[in-house]
Structure 1
């Protein structure tokens, strides 16, 4: 279970060390931004529309930097996670309803991550998808055991290693198939091409700005930097380190996401059957060779293992903060694995399940962002570290854009035009 006391005791902020020793929580949160749902959405975008939606990923990554920094700062300054602060402010019925939507988001996240890992095992070893999903679930339990027994710092180190593997796996193909500079520049101009591209953009946004990572990051930073509030100088230094932590981690995650779209645009455009991860992988192997295909599949596997572990961690944090219920982390991992295994066993198209899960996530974003914006702008809660005018304005614009895109997505979906 999420033992805060133990985590705090084992993960000191090392206030007297260099800034390097203060990095880490954002890298755990960043795993959510390179999960298998991103792979499906980004490959589909590049294969179907070329460089058209590069701007969506750039904008989404900037939004992600903004909100993850706000979440981390909230945890460091207040000593409480976002779910805990919301749990204190909501009435009991509202708290339960809010938890339901957050839990749906967490379940959609876990579905994408387990399915993605199962696809990777199938590509590498021809393991049946249901068996692969079970293997991914068991392996993620082993990763979570590290967090339970060795503390947050060791868990962060493992996640960072997996993030490096993910980066190499998803970007290696660009060495052999570099993207078009002119295409990249054209993709930075905001535009759509029909309702299907809007639907896909919403899925990409849902895959890039992750609600469960917003909830979790406040706890990760709070637990890591337990002595942050010992003096005003210490708190200011930790906030500065947190800013660098977020920028470096999210730049890396953003590069991976954009790199996947560019690889698909340069390699998969016009190739039949690339509307699934399996088809895209086959096209990559055909175009760039089996070695790149294996490296890509290994990156996908690392993505599934790391992100499903972080997703289970986030789900437990949400439940504990909102409902004050401490559900054992490994038991939660077992329960949340069931929906993914049912879908895999039923033969549902895995790539469709991945993209659908990202659309569900996009609807959960405002429920995380709007309260975060209000809390970090509160002078009574944040004191001198409340968001400045520029930051509040940027956050407000981000929330407005996300809500507007989701409204358009709803209209397209229910009008039958998507």
Structure 2
């Protein structure tokens, strides 16, 4: 399968040539885990936390653009850079953490798909969990017709999610002035709002997305020159910005719908109970009671589209992670089957024993795991993209470096605070026996120490000297015809490697 050719003129066709990776990445900001967090934020605080979504997705655009730049400027994705930079023990730790993040992200997708099938076709939730992996294989089958076909299918699913929620929002009629105020006026009323804001922010940025974006951009045939790389980075930034802006609008629509419905003074007692403890499952009953049966069906369709699109991108992320860290390649359908089976096991047990409420708690646990994992993708990315040895003249500017590290530090600190207070709250809870608290402490504290030690190592490790910087390589390419031929050979080698991953 050839790399995607870039059509230089007219400019709108050139932009279309770059459209794809950003939309594949954007579905992670619309997965069932995010939808549940959005529903809870709207139900508990109406439009008050919309500014958190704006801040979170603005930071996501900065981080995702750094990930794209890494792949464009170096021709290698984040996992490959980690393998080169760190010793084997650290690489194995990072690989395991990244694989756990992919599996944790897959759990809400499994449960969300099961809920959607239950709402649409009255299929028992545990049966929906078992069926969740099979329909994804149909989407993965599209990769045989080229990466562009798969990108188109994912883009359509994103539009389905957006169209469904925008339709429901129009019928719900949120107050436009209050929505705008919530979007641009920061406000946190009480400790519960702070906790929900942290959860909302933590659910937005997925660690495996950073690996994925740096790999997807390599599917474009980009000129190996300073201007070629600079132009490609600009177009990928525009494309990623458009995709994340659409994701932002959909998140705003979800929060606005739940905020409008749950703040209605004429809400029935049954609907109020759903608002007090809203989940992916109870949201359907809430919308059905408040807005009509059609709204719950649209919600279920959007949930199904969200789960399917997120699973496909998770499968690709897992494949690139495995290939980059341990140079192991696996058929995409087999990769999906392995990941999905691991995610299905806890989901199936929890759904059978705990029902919908148990499944909702499992989604929260999965979101906490993703928050826990984020620094181990974010810190290496910021280190690599700020490195002149790796990026040459394409490294982050001083302003971008400062803003990225500041926002990264804030995000990591918020996640660590949220995780530590949650874990400590469980350990010191009166509901647990003293013996259980001691046992939990014995296991938790060593893990926290190792966690901080690895994070400090990744942040402060001295950079491995590069054999040649990107600028040196590009000047060599421009200097002689033989170097052009060598660049073509490298491009063909990269084409074969991408083909191995995409069409495996």
TM-score normalized by structure 2?
A: 0.77
CA distance in 2 between counterparts of 1:408 and 1:191 reads 20
Counterpart in the other structure of 1:128: 124
For residue 382 of structure 2, what is the aligned residue in structure 1? 373
| Superposed displacement of residue 187, structure 1 | 5.7
- Greater CA drift, 73-82 or 330-339: 330-339
Correspondences of 1:236-315 after superposition (within 5 Å):
236-269=230-263, 271-274=272-275, 275-315=278-318
Which of 140, 165, 170 is the matching residue for 1:170? Answer: 165
Q: Are 2:392 and 1:399 aligned?
A: no
Give the secondary structure class of the aligned counterpart of 1:33.
helix
**Partner SS, residue 12 of structure 1:** coil
What stretches of structure 1 move > 6 A for 4+ residues in a row? none
Map 1:12-411; keep pairs closer than 5 Å. 12-16=5-9, 17-147=13-143, 149-184=144-179, 185-186=181-182, 188-223=184-219, 225-226=220-221, 228-269=222-263, 271-274=272-275, 275-346=278-349, 347=351, 348=354, 349-411=358-420
Report the Cα distance in structure 1 between the residues aligned to 2:212 and 2:218, rounded to whole angstroms: 10
Residues of 1 paired with 2:63 and 2:359: CA distance? 30
Secondary structure of 1:326's aligned partner: coil
Map of 1:3 onto structure 2: none
- Seen in structure 2, the aligned counterparts of structure 1 residues 251 and 186 have a Cα distance that, compared at 3 Å, is closer
The CA deviation at 1:214 is 1.1
CA contact (8 A) 2:164 2:301 kept: yes
Displacement after TM superposition at 1:354 (Å) = 1.8
Is residue 2:436 matched to residue 1:414? Answer: no
- Structure 1's 13 and 136: CA in aligned 2 closer, same or farther, altered over 3 A? farther
Contact 2:372 2:419 in 1 (8 A): no
Give TM-score, length-normalised by structure 1: 0.93
Structure 1 residue 367 displacement after superposition: 1.4
* Structure 1: distance between partners of 2:317 and 2:37: 22
Deviation (angstroms), 1:342: 2.3
Deviation string, structure 1 residues 225-249 (Cα, Å, up to 9, x no partner): 23x1333332222112111111100
What is the CA deviation profile of residues 110-166 of structure 1, one whole-angstrom value per residue up to 9, with x for unaligned ones?
11111111111111111112221232211111211222x122111101101111101
Alpha-carbon contact 1:198-1:409 (below 8 Å) kept:
no
Instruction: Kindly state the Cα deviation for residue 383 of structure 1 after the two structures are TM-superposed.
Output: 1.6
Q: Tell me, in whole angstroms, the C-alpha distance in 2 between the residues paired with 1:308 and 1:56.
A: 25
**Alpha-carbon offset, residue 290 of structure 1:** 1.4
- Matches of 2:152 and 2:183, distance apart in 1: 35
Q: Residue 21 of structure 2 contacts residue 217 of structure 2 at CA under 8 Å; is this kept in 1?
A: yes
Q: 1:133 to 1:13 in 2, by over 3 A?
A: farther
Query: How far did 1:406 drift?
Result: 1.5
Cα RMSD (Å) of the superposition? 1.9
Please report how far the alpha carbon of residue 305 of structure 1 lies from its aligned counterpart in structure 2 after TM superposition: 0.6
* Deviations, residues 364-409 of structure 1 (Å, cap 9, x unaligned): 2221111111111111211221111221121112111111112221
Q: Tell me how far 1:10 sits from its aligned partner.
A: 4.5
User: 2:462 aligns to what?
Assistant: none
Residue 229 of structure 1: SS of its match in structure 2? coil
Cα shift readout 1:20-63 (whole Å, capped 9, x = no counterpart): 22211100000111010111111011112222321221111101
Label 1:251 to 1:187 Cα distance change in 2 as closer, same or farther (>3 A): closer
